[in-house]
Chain A
Amino acid sequence: MIRIDSSIHLFIESTNQCFNESILMKPSPVTPNPATAYGASARRWNWRRALAPTGNAGDAIFRGLLFLAALLLLVIVGAMVGSMASNSALSLKRFGFGFLTGQTWNPVRDEFGALPFIYGTVMSSLIALFIAVPLSLGVAIFLVEQAPRRLARPIAFLVELLAAIPSVVYGLWGIFVLAPVLREYVEPPLARWLGWLPLFQGTVTGIGLLTGGVILAIMITPIITAVVRDVLTAVPVSQREAALALGATKWETTRVVLANAASGIAGAIILGLGRAIGETMAVTMVIGNRPKISASLFEPSYTIASVIANEFTEATDDLYLSALVEIGLILFLVTFIVNGIAKLLVWSVTRGTSGTARAT
């Protein structure tokens, strides 16, 4: 009775463990797989059985067609990687790993280094996460844990609408609304109060890393929110009831839920990161497009996706084109890996609650 909050802490720890164990021990997804019902599950790959496990010609054709469609998808992705790898061979051979650390991007002298773009991409994405993560967590918690259902649904819909706005529209809005607002009302105070940090020094222009990051933050907030919402919904109600029964306040209950959903939330954040990295148009329109690394967030920068959008149609030189394609390849691989990690993390929480996991 004396230390209520410590008992709650203990509770958090223990439920956390239980939950993780229950996930780890779950043998298979809840949804029964229809294929199993037909006795079609083949341990080893056998095309004959794979195509016609029921011995029906119609089935074989049907299955073959579907299989072709699925295969085509793999072929396309394979072709993507293949064509990009072969088109970037020249640059790969010439620069090797130095490409990743080179700071000069000079088409005139055939010097190509991707570091300024990598820096711009990473920094703008970090700014975006810095703003979007707390915001999205707040919205998701509000929607799942606090808002009455009647209020939660329309708000959730409105937040998701933010994700429906096209990138180029964000860019347009960024140029004409956000950039001037940041230049007049946000960046000068930042420079005044935090100007001792190298991050906030230099000329205030409204076009630069900060604006790119803020636009990205708005764009990834609905994505992170949606996934966190799914993840929180997937945490069993019993966890909340147990916490409440121990006398926890609403916020303490929420913390129990958050702790249980931690890996899924991490997945949601990484998913947002993946989206931020690959975003093109909006960032291109507000980031200033200069391949130079500078400490200040007010300075113009350049991202991987933007340099492709700006320079791809006009790279006349073979090596130049090859370097651009290599940058595209890097972007492809990085987003592929980041998204893969995110998916695995989100699955670890939502698995078993069939159908609520989102494709995007």
Chain B
Amino acid sequence: MQASVQTKDKRRRLTSAVMTTLTAACAVFVVLVLVIILGYIALRGLGSLNLEFLISAPKPVGEGGGIGNAILGTLILLLMASVVGLPLGIATGVYLAEFGEGRFASLVRFVTDTLTGVPSIVVGVFVYTLIVLPLKQFSAMAGGAALALIMIPIVARTTEEMIRLVPTSMREGALALGAPQWRVTTGVVLPAAASGIATGAMLAIARVSGETAPLLFTAFGSRFFNFYLDQPIASLTVQIYNYAISPYDEWHAQAWAATLVLMTLILSINIVVRFFTRKKF
């Protein structure tokens, strides 16, 4: 009797040890995958990275060229998406947090939440029919609108959560001083939640900067530096895609270098955000 309890006990401990090791192995494996991917990008990308590559426009195969216009294009697209998407997203988030009762608000919340999961290619199709076809023009504007649409729900939800973290006592204090509600929200609640909202905004920007699918038939692509919003515009992601499926070794090398640039942008946003929110989590 005693012996069987002991063996059972042993087996339980063994199971526990094995499973613990397994979960640790899972973690190690996933981190390893990340290291391999990032390492490979760095390895392949560094080879063709130089100043010339970063500032010049693409050239025909065999003549070099760079991704300067794509870097600029991505920045312009992100700027446009932010100008439209951030205010809308933040406003929706404030609405949900401060007036988020009743059926309408629940509907908005639910739609916002599920919208974050809607494939970005669908957004691209929508913007194509809504903006590109009527204007008869692929444009940076359409690309920016598509990215903004992807941004809004992300920003809205993080904003709502951050505002909800602001203690009610702060609102009550301000209200007790006789401030109208809008002053309470803009003067007390928003500043208190500002860093959190900024974090959410940064992450949303990082997220859309990697989007390709919604840009394929909105911003289209271009071989030139473009500053006009009603013209097609290049972007890093579309350029990477076009180069990746090309047959030229030279363009493959450029795709890796462009990827390195894009990843540097995205990772630095993530790391900066991480650094600033270290205390919170």
Given contacts A146-B24, A309-B121, contact A139 B164 (CB under 8 A): no
Complexed CA–CA distance, A325 and B217 (Å):
14
Question: Closest A-chain residue to B237, C-beta based?
Answer: A168
Does chain B have a CB within 8 A of A25?
Answer: no
* Stretch of A37-45, A95-103, A195-203 on the interface side: A37-45
Given contacts A161-B34, A312-B125, contact A2 B240 (CB under 8 A): no
Complexed CA–CA distance, A249 and B128 (Å):
57
Min C-beta distance of A65 to chain B, whole Å: 7
Given contacts A80-B122, A249-B15, contact A175 B244 (CB under 8 A): yes
Which residues of A are found within 8 Å of B263, using beta-carbon distances? 165, 169
Given contacts A35-B98, A87-B129, A332-B122, contact A305 B213 (CB under 8 A): yes
Does chain A have a CB within 8 A of B195?
Answer: no
B112 touches A62 (CB 8 A): no
Complexed CA–CA distance, A148 and B156 (Å):
33
A window 63-96: CB within 8 A of B = 63, 65-67, 69-70, 72-74, 76-77, 79-80, 83-84, 87
Given contacts A146-B20, A168-B237, A355-B161, contact A339 B117 (CB under 8 A): yes
Given contacts A83-B129, A249-B12, A339-B114, contact A159 B30 (CB under 8 A): yes
- Which of A136, A312, A359 touches B161 (beta carbons < 8 Å)? A359
Question: Closest A-chain residue to B125, C-beta based?
Answer: A328
A32 touches B213 (CB 8 A): no
Size bracket of the B interface: 35 or more
- Which of A32, A77, A146, A271 touches B111 (beta carbons < 8 Å)? A77
Which residues of A are found within 8 Å of B105, using beta-carbon distances? 70
Which residues of B are found within 8 Å of A285, using beta-carbon distances? 241, 244-245
Does chain A have a CB within 8 A of B37?
Answer: yes
Min C-beta distance of B208 to chain A, whole Å: 10
Does chain A have a CB within 8 A of B272?
Answer: no
Question: Closest A-chain residue to B214, C-beta based?
Answer: A280
Min C-beta distance of A329 to chain B, whole Å: 9
Does chain A have a CB within 8 A of B59?
Answer: no
B113 touches A2 (CB 8 A): no
* Stretch of A53-61, A104-112, A290-298 on the interface side: A53-61
Complexed CA–CA distance, A176 and B249 (Å):
12
10 sampled A-B residue pairs with Cβ under 8 A: A4-B9, A73-B153, A141-B23, A168-B241, A177-B40, A280-B120, A281-B212, A328-B121, A355-B165, A360-B157
A-B CB proximity, top 9 nearest: A166-B210, A138-B26, A278-B119, A359-B157, A62-B182, A69-B91, A339-B117, A249-B16, A251-B16
